[in-house]
């Protein structure tokens, strides 16, 4: 071996020694995590892992140059045992380097299949051990090994690694803890907390573009979701909260009671400290249009209770190095670290609580506190969570009339269906053999916001397709004489009865909730518009109608509405989402899940009726009624929001 090749060998030795020490530290932390069942990675670990990637890349060229130069010189040597072991060492070393590059997921060489990555990972773990063993065999067949130097290096590395692992074991950070009570003074009457009790920088909560770089499919779904447009980027919501804040300033001299809204709708300005300012610009402030960001949901560490009203704890997440850097090289380094070693990223942003209905209860269960209404300390608001638990859909109610083929363990089964994806987070979520993600459009009932935003057609279609099969209506029976206590003739099929001219009948229409796992309608049940549209006709035209819309697309006020008619203390309807004025409902026509409601329609057959009569029943849905939309956009607004036939 000449001096140049000998010098190159020393470069390989030095890099390998550094990489070996670095690997020993990383392996020790990994073993500690496996042994304890906890994640001990921290910012220092990420820096060390970045060093692992850099050292690995630096090792490639000198190793290749040395290996093949040495191979060319040693190919014909008489010590065939050393040559054969050298071949094996070269093959194992190449496997080590190739598996390392594959695990890095370098652009153009990205392996996303979880099973393939598992094989690559264990290849990368085992091949260094084989390489050391083969190197010893290779040297035993040649010049004498300098054991003293190797043992000294190993002892030093072991000592440092033991110290570092001890420090990791004493890591004071606790995962998924409830926020301290000190946060109450900042966040009440919302039940939201931060892990430290302090505010979180707004830019940390608004890193959606950062998430998009690796989760493009998920980002595109979320971008068009109602979660994204939960805040002041939603014109109807902006109107209601602006009116509330103006009302609170006049009544209380501050806007603190509006925190009740912000804990779920305006998390970024709220938890960053901007929301309490009475001069907060709800149209132009950088945080006003953030909505429920990726970080807002995925940095929640604890569900404090199932009381709702934002009963969660959110922490400022620890990112990999250079997460906020604008430097292209540093951004690339950050992405490669996450792709190569995503465990810490996954632990930080994806938790078991995200699979629980309790997580959704934090914002999809609401009560109105006394600080808001100045009436009672507690009034029930919307409540998806309890009605889900008490439904046949969850498997928690044996008295439901209708059950799905398989009970849903959580809200995700319906509202986050799986879909094929090439995102880096895609997994095998079912038996299809395709990599999939959960749909972050959250298909549900809000068809109003996509229309107002002029969202792509597929967004509206996703929501409308979701409605299919949820509700069924039937003309079940009729009562001759038109009174409720008259004899019931039912069912009216297969033998359809003949109606007598001049006679009055009561038609019994049944609305059944089939697949819903919560009350129908739910959410903003006072401004959701769900109504029966019933038309009686013969071939000559319409004989009677209930539920029609006039030229301005206002619904007949005498229609049967499946909603809540809420009143203020003066008996006026709560018709502009003015939650602070809620006093009591006049009626509540919501239908429980797996249940039914009966609607009565009286009709008198004309005296001269000779032609057959047809009765058409439709249950229509429109997100936001005309009265509310006129408050938002002015008296001249024509309510063109889409009407879905359920």
Whether residue 75 is predicted with pLDDT greater than 80 in this model: the reply is no
pLDDT tens column, 571-606 = 999 999 999 999 999 999 999 998 999 999 999 999
Stated length of the chain: 646
Q: What is the H or E stretch that residue 101 is in?
A: helix 80-104
Both tokens of 554, joined, read: 């206002």
Question: From CA 608, how far away is CA 641, in angstroms rounded?
Answer: 40
For residue 227, name the pLDDT band (cuts at 50, 70, 90).
very high
Whether residue 87 is predicted with pLDDT greater than 90 in this model: the reply is no
Whether residue 170 is predicted with pLDDT greater than 60 in this model: the reply is no
- DSSP-based three-state secondary structure for 396: coil
For residue 149, name the pLDDT band (cuts at 50, 70, 90).
low
316: region left, alpha or beta (phi > 0 left; psi from -120 to 50 alpha)? beta
Position 440 scores a pLDDT of 95
Q: What single-letter DSSP state applies at residue 395?
A: T
Starting at the edge strand found earlier in the chain, the sheet holding 418-420 runs 418-420, 435-438, 427-428
At how many degrees (to 10) do helices 3-36 and 43-74 cross?
140
Beta strands in 277-396 (DSSP E): 300-303, 312-314, 365-369, 378-383
Whether residue 173 is predicted with pLDDT greater than 70 in this model: the reply is no
For residue 150, name the pLDDT band (cuts at 50, 70, 90).
low
Mean pLDDT of 297-318: 94
Position 179 scores a pLDDT of 59
Mean pLDDT of 542-559: 94
- The answer to whether the beta carbons of residues 239 and 631 sit under 8 Å apart is yes
Q: Parallel, antiparallel, or unpaired: how do β-strands 312-314 and 193-194 relate?
A: parallel
Higher pLDDT, 4 or 427: 427
Question: From CA 241, how far away is CA 261, in angstroms rounded?
Answer: 8
Question: Between the ranges 43-57, 101-115, 307-321, where is the mean pLDDT highest?
Answer: 307-321
pLDDT-above-90 percentage for the chain: 54
614 Cα distance to chain centroid: 46
pLDDT tens column, 254-272 = 999 999 999 999 999 999 9
Radius of gyration, alpha carbons of the chain: 33
pLDDT tens column, 91-146 = 888 898 888 888 887 777 777 788 888 898 899 889 988 988 887 887 776 666 66
Both tokens of 204, joined, read: 């940390």
* Torsion from C-alpha of 606, 607, 610, 612, nearest 10 degrees: 30
- DSSP-based three-state secondary structure for 68: helix
pLDDT tens column, 13-39 = 788 888 888 888 888 888 887 887 777
Average pLDDT value over all residues in the chain:
88
Looking at domain 462-645, which CATH architecture does it have? Sandwich (2.60)
Q: Decide: residue 534, CB within 10 A, 0-12 exposed, 13-18 middle, 19+ buried.
A: buried
pLDDT-above-70 percentage for the chain: 94
Position 178 scores a pLDDT of 60
| DSSP labels, 144-165 | PP-HHHHHHHHHHHHHHHHHHH
Position 175 scores a pLDDT of 56
Q: Which of 398, 239, 244, 385 is nearest to 309 (CA)?
A: 385
Q: Which of 124, 59, 55 is nearest to 92 (CA)?
A: 124
Both tokens of 464, joined, read: 């409308």
Higher pLDDT, 41 or 78: 41
pLDDT tens column, 285-305 = 999 999 999 999 999 999 999
Position 143 scores a pLDDT of 64
Higher pLDDT, 171 or 51: 51
Position 573 scores a pLDDT of 95
Higher pLDDT, 133 or 156: 133
Mean pLDDT of 342-352: 89
Predicted structure pTM score? 0.85
254: region left, alpha or beta (phi > 0 left; psi from -120 to 50 alpha)? beta
Q: Which of 600, 441, 375 is nearest to 507 (CA)?
A: 600
Q: Decide: residue 399, CB within 10 A, 0-12 exposed, 13-18 middle, 19+ buried.
A: exposed
Q: Which of 578, 559, 558 is nearest to 568 (CA)?
A: 578
Q: Decide: residue 459, CB within 10 A, 0-12 exposed, 13-18 middle, 19+ buried.
A: buried
For residue 167, name the pLDDT band (cuts at 50, 70, 90).
low
Give just the sign of the alpha carbon dihedral 150, 151, 156, 160: positive
- The answer to whether the beta carbons of residues 577 and 241 sit under 8 Å apart is no
For residue 172, name the pLDDT band (cuts at 50, 70, 90).
very low
- The answer to whether the beta carbons of residues 121 and 343 sit under 8 Å apart is no
- The answer to whether the beta carbons of residues 361 and 300 sit under 8 Å apart is no
- The answer to whether the beta carbons of residues 207 and 290 sit under 8 Å apart is no
DSSP H helices in 266-356? 267-271, 294-298, 328-340, 343-349
Question: From CA 107, how far away is CA 331, in angstroms rounded?
Answer: 14
pLDDT tens column, 406-451 = 888 899 999 999 999 988 888 898 888 899 999 999 999 899 999 9
| DSSP labels, 222-270 | HHTSTTTTSSTTSHHHHHHHHHHHHHHHHHHSS-GGGHHHHHHH-HHHH
First-to-final CA distance of the chain: 82
**Range from 385-394, 395-404, 622-631 carrying the lowest mean pLDDT:** 395-404
Question: From CA 396, how far away is CA 606, in angstroms rounded?
Answer: 49
Domain spans in the chain, listed from the N-terminal domain onward: 3-169, 181-353, 462-645
């Amino acid at each position: 071996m000449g001096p140049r090749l000998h010098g190159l060998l020393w470069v390989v030795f030095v890099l390998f020694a550094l990489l070996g020490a670095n690997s020993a530290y990383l392996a020790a932390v990994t073993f500690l995590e496996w042994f304890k069942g906890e994640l001990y990675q921290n910012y220092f670990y990420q820096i060390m892992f970045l060093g692992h990637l850099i050292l690995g890349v630096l090792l490639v060229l000198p190793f290749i140059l040395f290996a093949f130069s040495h191979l060319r010189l040693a190919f014909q040597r008489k010590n065939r045992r050393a040559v054969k072991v050298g071949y094996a060492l070269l093959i194992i070393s190449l496997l080590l380097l190739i598996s390392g590059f594959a695990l890095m997921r370098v652009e153009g060489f990205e392996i996303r299949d979880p099973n393939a990555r598992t094989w690559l990972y264990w290849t990368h773990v085992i091949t260094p051990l084989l390489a050391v063993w083969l190197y010893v065999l290779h040297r035993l067949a040649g010049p004498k090994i300098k054991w003293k130097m190797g043992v000294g290096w190993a002892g030093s590395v072991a000592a440092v690694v033991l110290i570092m692992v001890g420090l990791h074991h004493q890591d004071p950070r606790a995962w998924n803890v409830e926020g301290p009570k000190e946060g109450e003074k900042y966040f009440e009457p919302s039940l939201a907390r931060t892990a430290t009790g302090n505010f979180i920088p707004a830019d940390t909560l608004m890193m959606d573009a950062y998430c998009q770089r690796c989760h493009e499919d998920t980002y595109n779904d979320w971008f068009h979701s109602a979660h994204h447009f939960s805040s002041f980027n939603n014109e109807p919501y902006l109107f209601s909260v602006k009116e509330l804040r103006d009302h609170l300033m006049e009544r209380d001299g501050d806007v603190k009671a509006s925190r009740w809204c912000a804990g779920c709708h305006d998390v970024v300005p709220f938890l960053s400290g901007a929301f309490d300012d009475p001069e907060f610009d709800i149209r132009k402030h950088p945080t006003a249009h953030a909505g429920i960001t990726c970080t807002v949901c995925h940095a929640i560490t604890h569900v404090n209770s199932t009381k709702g009203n934002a009963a969660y704890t959110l922490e400022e997440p620890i990112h990999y190095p250079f997460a906020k850097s604008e430097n292209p090289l540093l951004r690339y380094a950050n992405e490669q670290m996450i792709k190569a070693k995503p465990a810490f990223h996954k632990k930080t942003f994806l938790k078991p609580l995200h699979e629980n209905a309790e997580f959704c209860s934090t914002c999809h269960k609401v009560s109105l506190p006394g600080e808001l209404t100045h009436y009672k300390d507690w009034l029930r608001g919307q409540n998806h969570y309890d009605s889900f638990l008490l439904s046949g859909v969850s498997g928690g109610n044996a008295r439901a009339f209708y059950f799905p083929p398989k009970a849903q363990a959580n809200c995700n089964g319906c509202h986050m269906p799986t879909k094929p994806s090439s995102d880096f987070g895609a997994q095998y979520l079912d038996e299809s053999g395709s990599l999939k993600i959960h749909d972050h459009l959250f298909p549900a009932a809000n068809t109003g916001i996509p229309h107002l935003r002029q969202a792509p057609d597929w967004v509206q279609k996703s929501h409308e397709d979701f409605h299919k099969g949820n509700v069924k209506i039937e003309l079940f029976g009729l009562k001759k004489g038109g009174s409720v206590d008259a004899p019931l003739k039912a069912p009216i099929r297969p033998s359809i009865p003949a109606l007598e001219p001049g006679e009055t009948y009561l038609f019994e229409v049944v609305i059944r909730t089939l697949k819903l796992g919560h009350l129908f309608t739910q959410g903003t049940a006072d401004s959701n518009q769900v109504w029966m549209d019933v038309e009686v006709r013969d071939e000559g035209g319409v004989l009677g109608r209930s539920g029609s819309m006039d030229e301005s697309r206002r619904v007949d006020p005498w229609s049967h509405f499946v909603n809540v008619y809420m009143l203020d203390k003066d008996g006026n309807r709560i018709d502009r989402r003015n939650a602070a004025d809620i006093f009591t409902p006049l009626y509540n026509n919501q239908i429980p899940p797996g249940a039914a409601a009966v609607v009565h329609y009286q009709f008198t057959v004309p005296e001269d009726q000779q032609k057959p009569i047809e009765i058409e029943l439709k249950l229509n849905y429109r997100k936001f009624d005309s009265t509310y939309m006129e408050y938002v956009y002015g008296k001249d607004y024509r309510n063109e929001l889409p009407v879905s036939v359920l």
